[in-house]
Amino acid sequence: MKRTRLATAVATAVIALIPATASADVTYPDPQPVTGQQIIHDPTVIRLKSGGYVAYSTGGVIGARVSKDREQWDDAGNAFATPPSWWYEYNDTGDPWAPDISYRDGRYWLYYAVSSWGTNHSAIGVATSPTGLPGTWTDHGKVFSSEKTDAWNAIDPAVVKADGKLWMAFGSYWTGIRMVQLDPKTGKAIPGAEVRHLATRPDAPYAVEGPYVVHHGRYYYLFASYDACCAGVNSTYKIRVGRSTSVTGPYVDSTGKSLLDGGGDLLLAGHGRYVGTGGESVFRDAGQDWLAYHYYDATDSGTPKLGLNKVSWDSGWPELR
């Protein structure tokens, strides 16, 4: 699960450095009702070409949930029966994090990260499937990696197409969110490609991670999770957003402050029983965008659960319903 215990000690201080939102209702909407297997962390969701939905998540060997109606979710095991052997180079449990599912060129693509808590000795991998369902994935190995000498952390992948090119946003702490261009044939990073910088915080430990990029109208919108996850009801996760006319940035918030200078409009924060909202992704369903995320349920001992909200673009910025 997402990554550093250092954030807990500094969360209060760094929150004060982030500007107030200009685009979200301060009361925040509750997630849409869901039933069945609600436990999830870092969800990525897609509507399948065959009908119904699948969600993948941190936990297990990339945990899977399926739904016929986006409301009732059932456990569907894991994306893989066993971890690919190369994962053990990055942790000793074969435990992947924060998957990202997409569809292009007649196949489903599943990106994911392997690492250990508190280190940037990390890698992002990719697998493909003809159906998108668990048990049908073929792993293709490493897409991109980072080492302790790097100023970034190769986890939390999110893939987006822009102007005929394929890009992957990624990053967690270690100076924040980055982006690299991918080869669309292999789905892997182009050798020697520039590692671009999209968002960070003013001070260490640079508590921003889990990017997701959405193209809407004239703009690319960068969603990211700020502050500390993975601490149950003590989690301070929240989702902020900026936008740019270019997929590679610069991204700014509604006040014009750069996300490289700590900017970002507050889209969703914990409220009531819904604590530590983050680990987000966006999926499209019948012309409607949806935000998928996890929250820690304060009425259930801080258990991480699935949150889904409609995304409205009426103001030119994402707002949740």
Catalytic positions are 42, 209
Q: Which residues pair with 54 in a beta bridge?
A: 46, 66
Structure tokens at 94: 């074969």
> Contact, 242 vs 199, CB < 8 A?
yes
SS3 114: strand
Cα dihedral value 213, 215, 220, 225, nearest 10: -30
Who contacts 11 (Cβ-Cβ below 8 Å, separation ≥6)? 207, 227, 228, 236
Element (H, E) at 9: helix 6-15
Dihedral sign computed on CA atoms, order 306, 99, 276, 246: negative
Distance in angstroms (rounded) separating the CA atoms of residues 41 and 278: 9
For β-strands 196-199 and 177-182, DSSP reports them as antiparallel
Structure tokens at 245: 């006319």
Distance in angstroms (rounded) separating the CA atoms of residues 321 and 212: 19
> Contact, 144 vs 155, CB < 8 A?
no
Structure tokens at 299: 């009425």
> Contact, 267 vs 240, CB < 8 A?
yes
> Contact, 110 vs 128, CB < 8 A?
yes
Distance in angstroms (rounded) separating the CA atoms of residues 87 and 93: 9
Distance in angstroms (rounded) separating the CA atoms of residues 227 and 187: 30
